[in-house]
Structure 1
Amino acid sequence: MNLSSSTSALAVRDPWAMVPSLGNLDAYISSVNRLPLLTQEEEVSLARSLRENADVASAGKLVLSHLRLVVSISRQYLGYGLPHGDLIQEGNVGLMKAVKRFDPDQGVRLVSYAMHWIKAEIHEYILKNWRMVKVATTKAQRKLFFNLRSMKQSLKDEAADVDTHRNTLTQSEVDTMARQLNVKREEVLEMETRLSGGDVALEPQSDDSEESYAPIAYLADESSEPTRVLEAQRRDWLASDGISKALDTLDPRSRRIVEERWLKVNDDSSGGMTLHDLASEYGVSAERIRQIEVAAMKKMRKALTEAST
């Protein structure tokens, strides 16, 4: 495969060695912006080599030449309070997925195809990490989530009598956004409330004042809640006295089978006897031992249910 001299800088054994890690973000961005771009002919040639020969080196060159695209797209999402390096990292994952799936015979440049994969990966990362509580679950809510901020600012800029200190949406703005995004106005209001609400720390940020309380100070201790206490006591009874009483309802053979199969632990942490071991001892088939075990377990469950009611 003959490529022009403009891509000679990419022809290295380990193409990623040219790019520093995200530990030094400024150096990384500076490096990827200096990487040469591919012509359409070079891009098609590399993509075909990847598809037909699974050429990893070609994939690396395609990825390297589009790293600057990831940096550019990631800057659009800095307003969500997430580290720029993390956004770039997730965008790079999307870029690699795009390179893997790219078809050079479709007549579309990789930059146009990769853009959608990069944004999708960044969107997914933001939705998972922007808040502990997920703010968007459905497709319509995700669209609203990523368009609310820009549309809100655009509507304010268009208003002649805009109050620069106003953060809430007017009724007309809510109606306009709901119509343009094809969602209910109630959903616009709910998403606006979620996005405008700040995160609250569970624990106090400092111990300087005795009067500084955080939610952790007045949240209920569920372990002391009466229902939880009763449930814990019932579980303890079932695990000890309940099991003993249920075993007493079985005949000797059924009891031994259950104890060997479910309750016995040897010194080497292994279980008791297998179905075949028990079958050999009692002179019956392994299937017969399994049937006795099933019947015994059913009888024990019935005894436990009756004892706990």
Structure 2
Amino acid sequence: MTKSNVKFINTLMNEPFLTREQELELARRWREMGDQRSLHALVRAYMRLVVSIAARFRNYGLPMSDLIQEGNVGLMLAAARFEPEREVRFSTYAVWWIRCTMQDYILRNWSIVRTSTTPSQKLLFFNLRRLRARIEGAWATEELSEEGRTKIAAELKVKPSLVEEMGLKLSKSDTSLNAPINDASDGELQDFLVDNQPNPEDIVIATRAAERRSQWLAEALDELSPRERGILSKRRLCEDGATLDELGREFHITRERVRQLEQRAMKKLRESMRKRVEQHTDLFVEA
């Protein structure tokens, strides 16, 4: 944090608190008359709350200045929504908004992977370390004990499995794939990621081979008679192939005759395809 930021924070911390009557008067003037000076005075008087709450969240690895900025947003939201007629202290009302905006900022920026989305996960995220330190002490091992998980789950009223899951998340940190493996090596973490997908060369080869087989099949089908080609197309080349009975009614022949024509057409097709390839394996796609 820069010297100017420190000086600014010290100035805020020295701002005097407002009395209950002063709070309500400023809030009424802002709400009823839109008095910008009253809003400014109300917000500035309680910016020390923002700094104080931000200090509680400094251990999450995010810049203190960013936390203060987010807290100021919460303070402004509180001022905009505060209702003086309820006769509640503005400072009490503002604390909730300040903490809420800071926690939302931390959840969005603590990791590039969304860490907590449900209320139970958020509750664990912001309370697990504190409760663990209280239950297991400052010398707790990296892995949370089963007894510790059970106690924390009971206190927060969540499942022990959620406690274990959040403990694993909080024990890890984001690491760049371009990070070196160690100081003695030029290798990066991404060098050890296995890609099971085909490379561009294999994709091009497979695409061209498929196009060639399609061309061979079209040429071989042209050598069949119209009836043979029709039976084979509707029987073998459709997703829902027609039955022998359906084809028999369409071509006005018996079911057995359709089967015979189909077998003859397949034999002709195979012989025609074999003439067009150098190796029989070229007709098949590798699994």
- Tell me if both proteins adopt one fold, taking TM over 0.5 as the criterion: yes
Cα separation, partners in 2 of 1:56 and 1:220, compared to 1, 3 Å: farther
Provide TM-score, normalisation by structure 1: 0.61
Gaps of 5+ in 1: 1-20, 158-162, 235-309
Task: Give 1:188's aligned amino acid.
Answer: V
Secondary structure at 1:136's aligned position in 2? coil
Aligned partners of 2:130, 2:169: CA distance in 1, in Å?
Answer: 16
Task: Give CA deviations for 1:212-249 in whole Å, capped at 9, x if unaligned.
Answer: 4222223357996469957xx89xxxxxxxxxxxxxxx
Cα separation, partners in 2 of 1:150 and 1:34, compared to 1, 3 Å: same
In structure 1, the partner of 2:30 is 50
Aligned partners of 1:208, 1:177: CA distance in 2, in Å?
Answer: 39
Task: Give CA deviations for 1:165-194 in whole Å, capped at 9, x if unaligned.
Answer: 523221111111111111111110010001
Cα separation, partners in 2 of 1:43 and 1:170, compared to 1, 3 Å: same
Aligned partners of 2:3, 2:28: CA distance in 1, in Å?
Answer: 34
Provide TM-score, normalisation by structure 2: 0.65
Aligned pair partner of 1:217 in 191, 200, 221? 191
Cα separation, partners in 2 of 1:184 and 1:207, compared to 1, 3 Å: closer
Alignment of 1:66-77 (within 5 A): 66-77=46-57
1:172 aligns with 2:152: no
Task: Give 2:142's aligned amino acid.
Answer: N
In structure 1, the partner of 2:78 is 98
Task: Give 2:21's aligned amino acid.
Answer: E
Task: Give CA deviations for 1:114-167 in whole Å, capped at 9, x if unaligned.
Answer: 00000000000000000111111111100111010100011023xxxxx82523
Secondary structure at 2:141's aligned position in 1? coil
Structure with larger Rg: 2
Secondary structure at 1:72's aligned position in 2? helix
Cα separation, partners in 2 of 1:130 and 1:202, compared to 1, 3 Å: same
Secondary structure at 1:24's aligned position in 2? helix
1:152 aligns with 2:132: yes
Secondary structure at 2:8's aligned position in 1? helix
Mapped contact 1:47–1:58 kept (Cα < 8 A): yes
Aligned pair partner of 1:204 in 167, 179, 193? 179
In structure 1, the partner of 2:163 is 188
Aligned partners of 1:118, 1:149: CA distance in 2, in Å?
Answer: 21
Aligned partners of 1:172, 1:67: CA distance in 2, in Å?
Answer: 41
Give the count of matched residue pairs: 207
Gaps of 5+ in 2: 209-287
Task: Give CA deviations for 1:290-309 in whole Å, capped at 9, x if unaligned.
Answer: xxxxxxxxxxxxxxxxxxxx
Aligned partners of 1:228, 1:107: CA distance in 2, in Å?
Answer: 73
- CA RMSD for the aligned pairs? 2.9
Once the two structures are TM-superposed, the CA of residue 23 in structure 1 deviates from its matched residue by: 7.6
1:81 aligns with 2:61: yes
Task: Give CA deviations for 1:48-100 in whole Å, capped at 9, x if unaligned.
Answer: 01111122221111100000010001111011011111111101100110011
Mapped contact 1:223–1:229 kept (Cα < 8 A): no
Mapped contact 2:111–2:173 kept (Cα < 8 A): no
Cα separation, partners in 2 of 1:204 and 1:169, compared to 1, 3 Å: closer
Aligned partners of 1:208, 1:68: CA distance in 2, in Å?
Answer: 44
In structure 2, the partner of 1:130 is 110
1:26 aligns with 2:6: yes
Aligned partners of 2:64, 2:202: CA distance in 1, in Å?
Answer: 44
In structure 2, the partner of 1:36 is 16
Secondary structure at 1:167's aligned position in 2? coil
Mapped contact 1:22–1:28 kept (Cα < 8 A): no
Cα separation, partners in 2 of 1:171 and 1:206, compared to 1, 3 Å: closer
Once the two structures are TM-superposed, the CA of residue 207 in structure 1 deviates from its matched residue by: 10
Secondary structure at 1:174's aligned position in 2? helix
Aligned partners of 1:140, 1:100: CA distance in 2, in Å?
Answer: 29
